[in-house]
Amino acid sequence: MTQAKPLKNKKTTTDSAETILELKNVCKSFGDNDVLKGLNLSVKKGENLVILGRSGSGKSIAIKCLVGLIHVDEGEIKIFGTDITELRNDDLNDIRVRIGFLFQNGALYDSMTVRQNLEFTLKHHSPNVSSAEVDEAILEALESVGLEEAIDKMPSELSGGMRKRIGLARTIIIKPEIILYDEPTTGLDAITSREISELILYVQKKYKTTSIIITHDMACAKITANRIMILKDGVICAEGSYAELEKSEDEWVRSFFI
């Protein structure tokens, strides 16, 4: 039964016009530690959703569940209309190629240069692409993050902020439809943070991507967010636009905006 499901859903993918990504009652615990306790959220096509939450509230876990890196205990995760919680790896990979993921610490491949990092995924999925096209894509991606000069460096030669930007370049190079950003601006100076935030907005406009952005950085949230959700105790406790939440009745919610 579970195997027939994705097939049936694949047909409906195209006509699920609005909501592109949906979490229903997602639960995840590690031993006694209940991290997610019935998380519900949905993202519309072309939207930037920012998720706020204190450190350790399970934000990273939540977006890792979205790409099947972590298996949920309970609940449903629909991406492009397909429930991914029951998918086998091959079918899951069909969805993964359409999703970009920026890791909290970049997760660059240490043994490869920046160029190899960028072309790795590209070459894997389309081995027939000419090297001229690959080079062009690499340059374009590096240009977007403003790090063309780092192309032949090893990740160990880069600063933390540079790694993050290269990570972002590696994410956008495959032109994903959905991008998940795990703290894209944490640990960067104010100016670079702002540049990255604007870059996220630029990518959204240029490639018409849908994004989920996890952040503690309110400046980043203010620039990038169409909608904000606040995660607390494993559930969404507040939702709204930046302006709405800033004037929230709840003091705890407001405390994020100070």
Partner 1 sequence: MNSSAKIIKVSIVKTYLKNIFEDIGKATLFATRFFKEVVKTSFEFKEFLWQCYAIGYKSLPIVSITAFIMGLVLTIQSRPTMAKFGAESWLPSMVGLSLIREIVPVITALICAGKIASGIGAELGSMKVTEQIDAMEVSAINPYKYLVVTRIMATTIMIPILVIYADFIGVFGGYIGYNIHENMGFYRYFSNVLEHLEFLDILPAIVKTFFFGFAIGLVGCYKGFNAENGTESVGKAANTAVVTASLSIFILDMIAVQITDLFY
User: Which chain residues interact with Mg ion by CB under 5 A?
Assistant: 60
**253 touches 237 (CB < 8 A):** yes
CA distance 231 to 238: 8
User: 61 is in the binding site of which of partner 1, ligand ATP, Mg ion, none (Cβ under 5 to 8 A by kind)?
Assistant: ligand ATP
- CB neighbour class for 117 (10 Å; exposed up to 12, middle 13-18, buried from 19): buried
* Site track 102-121 with ligand ATP (rule: CB under 6 A), x = hit: --x-----------------
Q: Which residues of 243-253 are buried (b: 16+ CB within 10 A; e: fewer)?
A: eebbebeeeeb
125 interacts with partner 1 by CB under 8 A: yes
Shortest Cβ distance from residue 102 to partner 1 (Å)? 10
**77 touches 5 (CB < 8 A):** no
Binding residues for ligand ATP restricted to 10-39, rule: CB under 6 A:
30, 33, 35
Applying CB under 8 A, the span of 44-52, 99-107, 137-145, 204-212 interacting with partner 1 comes to 99-107
181 interacts with partner 1 by CB under 8 A: no
User: 41 is in the binding site of which of partner 1, ligand ATP, Mg ion, none (Cβ under 5 to 8 A by kind)?
Assistant: none
Q: Which of 49, 52, 60, 158 binds ligand ATP (CB under 6 A)?
A: 60
Question: Rounded to 5 degrees, what are φ and ψ at 38?
Answer: 90, 60
| Strands of 10-73, DSSP E | 19-30, 33-44, 48-53
**248 touches 226 (CB < 8 A):** no
Judged by CB, which is closer to partner 1: 12, or 93? Answer: 93
Reading phi first (left if > 0) and then psi (alpha if -120 to 50, else beta), residue 129 is in beta
61 interacts with ligand ATP by CB under 6 A: yes
HSE (side-chain half, CA atoms, 13 Å) at 251: 0
Applying CB under 6 A, the span of 8-16, 52-60, 126-134, 187-195 interacting with ligand ATP comes to 52-60
User: 40 is in the binding site of which of ligand ATP, partner 1, Mg ion, none (Cβ under 5 to 8 A by kind)?
Assistant: none
Name the amino acid, one letter, at 20: I
Question: Rounded to 5 degrees, what are φ and ψ at 92?
Answer: -65, -40
Helices (H), 87-130: 89-96, 114-125
3 interacts with partner 1 by CB under 8 A: no
Applying CB under 6 A, the span of 56-64, 83-91, 150-158, 188-196 interacting with ligand ATP comes to 56-64
174 interacts with partner 1 by CB under 8 A: yes
Q: Which residue's C-beta sits nearest to Mg ion? A: 60
CA distance 43 to 136: 32
User: 69 is in the binding site of which of Mg ion, ligand ATP, partner 1, none (Cβ under 5 to 8 A by kind)?
Assistant: partner 1
Contacting positions for ligand ATP (CB under 6 A): 30, 33, 35, 53, 55-61, 104
